[in-house]
Chain A
Amino acid sequence: MEPLTSLKPLLAVLVSLGVVPILISSRSPNVREAWTFGAAGLKFLIVLSMLPAVLEGRELVCTLAQVLPGVAFRLRVDALGMLFALVASSLWITTSAYSIGYMRGLKEHGQTRYFCFFALALSATIGVAFSANLFTLYLFYEMLSFATYPLVTHHQDAKARHSGRKYLLYIVGGSIGLVLPAMVLAYHLSGTLEFSGQGFLPHSGSPILLGVLLFMFLFGFAKAAIMPVHAWLPAAMVAPTPVSALLHAVAVVKVGVFCILRVLTEVFGLDLLASLHLGTAVAYVAAFTIIAASLIALTQDELKRLLAFSTIGQLSYIVLGAALLSPKGLMGGMIHIAMHAFGKITLFFCAGAIFVATGKKNLSEMAGIGKRMPVTMAAFFIGALSIIGIPPGGGFLSKWYLVLGALEADQFPLLVVILVSSLLNAAYFMPIVYRAFFVGSRETTLPDTVSEAPIFCVAPLVVTALISLVLFFYPQPFLDLAELAVQTLIGGTGK
């Protein structure tokens, strides 16, 4: 079908950018937060208003400027982008609420700056989701890198500075050192950067060059945290927890895998990857990351670091799904963007709520916390279920499709990887839940005064936990979008 020309994608990107001057000039925190909510809600509604057209199989396009021959600054809304934008924009609303509870609860400094850069980061995230070509994608990817730097280093102490350096080293080093030359090379080979369902790289290129190119993209988009370019993610956990939650479980890292999905499916194309056997190579890199990250997560005591390593593993599921090059695998990968987002953000919110209420970061100090903060830990349990992939957690569906995808692709070893990793996930999450609820009152070191965190902290995590459950029963919007996306890539074999 003909793509629709529409300003809505641009509006969706700009709405959070436009609110920044208002945030800066707001005198009272309440007014500032009201504007943040307004922008978040508006953004979600704009994204939602494009959903019907996308579900009909149409694409919305908005060209802003022709910057290079054959390359425009252009936004395009397709099924995959829609899926990601829905996740990111809906979670911004809950995170805004959570931020208020967390930042005020801890009396953090620089809250205006915090909300401004948060809004900027969201603009960039939606921009990535709606990019029509590699150039636009790169633009928003870089914008996100620099917009999140002040968020990661929010505390402005020596540790934050160190982590900020690591963050820049991996993220910007990767994007300038690897992605930029890879992009120029791709342009040199094909004369375009426009995404297309079959990929735009010429099939006639030398296999070695194309292989090198693929791995430059794979490791250059370091936000996807594929090993060995993952070390920034645990380091970035010095950020305030809402930042970790939205950016490091949802926006930033998902932008990384989203970029890799785009590169695999719409720069190279499934046929080219299959004919060069590059899909398998990527799949095994991802599989290694899945297992190694889960094993490292087992050894962590700091809750946020554990979650970070868990994220690294889960991100590679998405890459693995796409690299299987089979319809079911692709679907599994795409749905996992949504399922993991809701599950993981719940877990991060819980970690933050515990920190606000008790000041504790380490698991060893949290024995018996379930009795003091029952709502939070119940939500934690649900989030963990979803990540492990046990019904009725939404994560079950994505893992189900991934397993089917591995079977479809005849990759028995990868099937084993997925299953073993699920066991490992259970092995690091379940003891936390167990120790929260089922220890004797003598073992707990928590004072009696501890109770649930402020309502602004608890309500969002309850909401996201419930959504994780609901998604198991009603995954339609995401499932339909993923199916649609796979259909355009493979041509009707997505069912």
Chain B
Amino acid sequence: MSQYYPALLIAIPLLAALFISASGWLRPALCFPLALTALGGSLLVSLGLLSNVIRGIPDVYLFGGWPPPWGIYYRVDHLSALVLAVVSIVGFVNLIAARPAVEKEFPEKAAPFYTLYVLFVTGLLGMVITGDAFNLYVLLEIAAITGYALIALGKGRAPLSSLHYIFMGTIGACFYLLGVGYLYIITGSLNMEDIARLLPPLYESKVVTVAFVILMVGIWLKMGFFPLHAWLPNAYTHAPSPVSSLVAPLMTKVMVYVMIRMVLTVFTVDYAFLVLKLNDAVVWLAVIAIVAGSLLALAEKDVKRMLTFIVVAEVGYMVGGFWLGNRAGFIGAVLHLVNDALMTLCLFLAVGNIVYAKGNSQWDSLPGLFRTMPWTMGALVVGALSIIGVPPTCGFFSKWYLLLGAIQGGHYGFLAALLFSSLVSVVLFFRIFEISYFEPFGASHGPDHGEDGPAGREAPLGMLVPLWMTALGLVLLGLYTGEIVDRVIRHAVPGMML
């Protein structure tokens, strides 16, 4: 059974998407259970894959039985198994939380929503698991196109933001395809490991250099790496909340994974770090991304929009950590990929609850929230502490590795940027907490203080449970950091970085 895991991972949700779409006409009530079953299935499979990898059982699947480099082939290693687990967990948890919001905001579009949702997750899972550079492009487009459609479901300026995203995303995908094309021209192969085998004699070739640069730029555009981030804030802000909390945690992280995969498996670490010697420059770009993202977040007066700029800054964390080119930096980047997916999920879910109760997440809606929505705000505090990097939440540990990597690599600019961004995060989140805690100002004494604040209700249980699962997950993930690094990430560190 377990040899079919890689295929099942994709096949289950892909087929389920068809059924969901069909049941939209026949039995709309079935859409949600179907989607839940599908993503639950791929969650179980991805956990099975992870446990296989940890126990040292190889997971390789050849589509149609064609051996590489001719056929498409899925291969699961420590890195991809970890990211698969993250993607399917986030997809699953967020789906549970999505239901009340869908029923409230666009009940008539539930069937297309769940179809697109499941397809989007399928695309992301496929991008992570595939061992074929062109197949990755196909799945990238699946994820991207469903993503555009999901974002366009939002109100107001959502379609326009989605259009902007389509332009930028398509350029990014084209760059990626162009890079793969160059690689195909010069090596005649699309299989990642095959390309890696053929490349070393061609390292001096200009074509390889161009392919690498184009690929990277394409990937950076898709992940919103500053200054290629312009599409991201609008798209994620105007999207409906269940979409924001799906796309924001996953899309950027999976693109970071693709970047790591390209460098690690296709071009090899030796090429990227020793032949091209781009690492220092990229880390400085990451420094700029972190600082700019943090500063831009300061200018926002809408919680959701502020979070999107934090996402931009966090992308800088991961890109910079990886390009530090040392062991601690690599572990930090991968760990942060995992942690940040859950932190972002937690924050966006919390904001989703606020939007559900208040209609929007502008600062004007915040006063009195600690009284009216204590559970939502409690989870928001946990997520914020994780972004700030307070132990024992997981955000601390990835930041620790990144800081250590910066010191070991002698890159004090990156060190300073990380600390700066942490401090700015304190300001960002405590501004929100201040408004929701102190305002509206009442009499400072007396038992009825604060009772005259704006009325409001806590979000439904269906949204609170997934939110708190995520919030507790942040703490558990932090306490189990040692295990995760020791059992999984350590094995993914390329030899050169040891």
- The residues of A with any CB-CB pair to B shorter than 8 Å are 64-69, 73, 106-110, 135, 138-139, 142-143, 146, 150, 153, 155-158, 160-161, 164-165, 168, 172-173, 176-177, 180-181, 184-185, 187-188
Q: List the B residue with the shortest CB-CB distance to A238.
A: B444
Contact of A142 among B391, B437, B441 (CB under 8 A): B391
- Is residue B271 contacting chain A, with contact meaning CB distance below 8 A? no
Of the listed stretches B67-75, B311-319, B446-454, name the one at the interface; the rest are far from the partner chain: B446-454
When chains A and B are docked, how far (Å) is the Cα of A180 from the Cα of B401? 12
- Is the CB–CB distance between B423 and A177 below 8 Å? yes
Given contacts A68-B397, A156-B441, A184-B404, contact A146 B390 (CB under 8 A): yes
**Proximity string of chain B (466-498) to chain A, C-beta cutoff 8 Å, 1 when within and 0 when not:** 000000000000111111011000000000000
Assess whether A66 is in contact with B441, with CB atoms less than 8 Å apart: no
Are B449 and A109 touching (Cβ within 8 A)?
A: yes
Distance, CA A73 to CA B475, complexed state (A):
13
A66–B478 alpha-carbon span in the complex (Å)? 11
Name the interface size band of chain B: 35 or more
Nearest chain B CB to A56's CB is how many angstroms away? Answer: 32
What is the interface of chain B, defined by CB distance below 8 A to chain A?
Answer: 385, 388-392, 397, 400, 403-404, 407-408, 415, 419, 422-423, 426, 430, 434, 437-438, 441-442, 444-450, 478-483, 485-486
CA distance A146 to B384 in the complex (A): 12
Contact A109 B448 (CB under 8 A): yes
Q: Which residue of A lies closest to B434 (CB)?
A: A161
| Cα-based distance from A69 to B408 in the complex (angstroms) | 15
Docked CA distance A313–B231 (Å): 54
**A106-B445, A181-B403 provided; 11 other pairs, C-beta below 8 A?**
A65-B479, A69-B482, A69-B485, A73-B479, A110-B449, A146-B385, A156-B449, A176-B388, A176-B419, A181-B415, A188-B407
Interface of A is mostly: helix
Assuming A68-B400, A108-B445, A181-B419, is B437 touching A156 (CB within 8 A)? yes
Say yes or no: A157-B444 contact (C-beta < 8 A), given A181-B403, A188-B404: yes
Kindly list chain B residues whose C-beta atoms are within 8 Å of the C-beta of A108.
445, 447
B389–A109 CB distance below 8 A:
no
Provide a sorted-by-A list of 15 A–B residue pairs whose CB atoms are within 8 angstroms: A65-B479, A69-B482, A73-B392, A73-B479, A107-B445, A110-B449, A142-B390, A156-B442, A161-B438, A164-B434, A168-B426, A176-B426, A177-B423, A180-B419, A188-B407
| Cβ-defined contact, A160 with B397, below 8 A | no
Residues from chain A with a CB closer than 8 A to the CB of B388 are 176
Which chain A residue shows the least CB distance to B412? A181
A100 to B90, CA, bound (A): 45
With the chains together, A83 CA to B481 CA distance in Å? Answer: 32
A334 to B142, CA, bound (A): 65
The residue from B385, B415, B434, B482 contacting A65, defined by CB atoms under 8 A apart: B482
Residues in chain B near residue A68, CB distance under 8 A: 397, 400, 481-482, 485
- CA A122 – CA B119 in complex, angstroms? 49
Which residues of the partner chain B approach A158 to less than 8 Å between Cβ atoms?
A: 438, 441
| Contact status of A176 and B447, CB under 8 A, knowing A146-B390, A156-B438 | no
Could you count the A-B residue pairs with CB atoms below 8 Å apart for me: how many are there?
98
Given A160-B438, A176-B423, does the pair A110, B400 have CB atoms closer than 8 Å?
Answer: no
Q: Are B444 and A135 in contact (CB under 8 A)?
A: no
Report chain A residues within 8 Å CB of B392.
67, 73, 139
**B420 CB → nearest A CB, Å:** 9
Q: Which 7 A-B pairs have CB atoms at the shortest separation, nearest pair first?
A: A109-B449, A139-B391, A66-B482, A157-B444, A155-B444, A184-B403, A67-B482
Cα distance A146–B391 when bound, in Å?
12
Residues of chain B lying within 8 A (CB to CB) of residue A155? 444-445
The residue that A107 contacts in the complex, of B390, B403, B446, with Cβ under 8 A, is B446
| CB neighbours of A139 from chain B (8 A) | 391-392
Question: Is the Cβ of A187 less than 8 Å from the Cβ of B404?
Answer: yes
Q: Is the pair A67, B479 in contact by a Cβ cutoff of 8 Å?
A: yes
Among A65, A106, A156, A184, which residue has its beta carbon within 8 angstroms of that of B407?
A184
Contacts of B448 in A (CB 8 A): 109
B417 to chain A, nearest CB (A): 12
With a CB–CB cut-off of 8 A, which chain A residues contact B404?
A: 184, 187-188
Q: How far is the CA of A139 from the CA of B389 in the complex (A)?
A: 10
- By a CB distance below 8 angstroms, the chain B residues around A142 are 390-391
Please name all residues of chain A whose beta carbon is closer than 8 Å to the beta carbon of B390 when the two chains form the complex.
Answer: 142-143, 146
Residues of chain B within 8 A (CB-CB) of A180 are 389, 403, 419, 422
A172 vs B422: C-alpha distance when bound (angstroms): 10
Chain B contacts for A160, CB-based, 8 A: 438, 444
A67-B482, A108-B445, A180-B389 known; A173-B423 Cβ under 8 A:
yes
How far does the Cβ of A334 sit from chain B's closest Cβ, in whole Å? 27
Please determine whether B481 and A67 come into contact, CB atoms closer than 8 angstroms.
yes
* Cβ contact within 8 Å between A156 and B450: yes
How far does the Cβ of B371 sit from chain A's closest Cβ, in whole Å?
Answer: 9
The answer to whether B438 and A172 touch across the interface, beta carbons within 8 angstroms, is: no
Residues from chain A with Cβ under 8 Å of B442 in the complex: 156
Q: A139-B392, A156-B438 are known contacts. Are A107 and B447 too (CB-CB below 8 A)?
A: yes
Q: B450–A109 contact, CB under 8 A?
A: yes
Q: How far is the CA of A157 from the CA of B445 in the complex (A)?
A: 10
Q: Which residue of B lies closest to A159 (CB)?
A: B444
Q: B440's closest neighbor in chain A, by CB?
A: A156
Once bound together, how far apart are the Cα atoms of A90 and B388, in whole Å? Answer: 33
Cβ of A184 and Cβ of B400 under 8 Å apart? yes
Which chain A residue has the least Cβ–Cβ distance from B435? A161
Query: Assuming the A-B contacts A168-B430, A188-B408, are A109 and B446 also in contact, with contact meaning beta carbons closer than 8 angstroms in the complex?
Result: yes
With a cutoff of 8 Å between Cβ atoms, the chain A residues found around residue B389 in the complex are: 176, 180
Residues A67 and B397 in contact, CB atoms below 8 Å apart: yes
- In the assembled complex, the Cα of A162 lies from the Cα of B285 at a distance in Å of 36
In the assembled complex, the Cα of A182 lies from the Cα of B444 at a distance in Å of 40
Smallest CB-CB separation from A161: which chain B residue? Answer: B438
CA–CA, A65 to B482, complex, Å? 8
Task: Note all chain B residues with C-beta closer than 8 A to A107.
Answer: 445-447
In the complex the two chains form, what is the Cα distance from A155 to B443 in whole Å?
A: 9
Q: In the complex, what distance in Å separates the CA atom of A188 from the CA atom of B408?
A: 7
Docked-complex contact A157 and B441, CB < 8 angstroms: yes
**Which of B434, B438, B447 is in CB contact (< 8 Å) with A109?**
B447
* Closest Cβ–Cβ distance, residue A391 to chain B (whole Å): 41
Q: CA separation between A185 and B445, bound complex, in Å?
A: 46
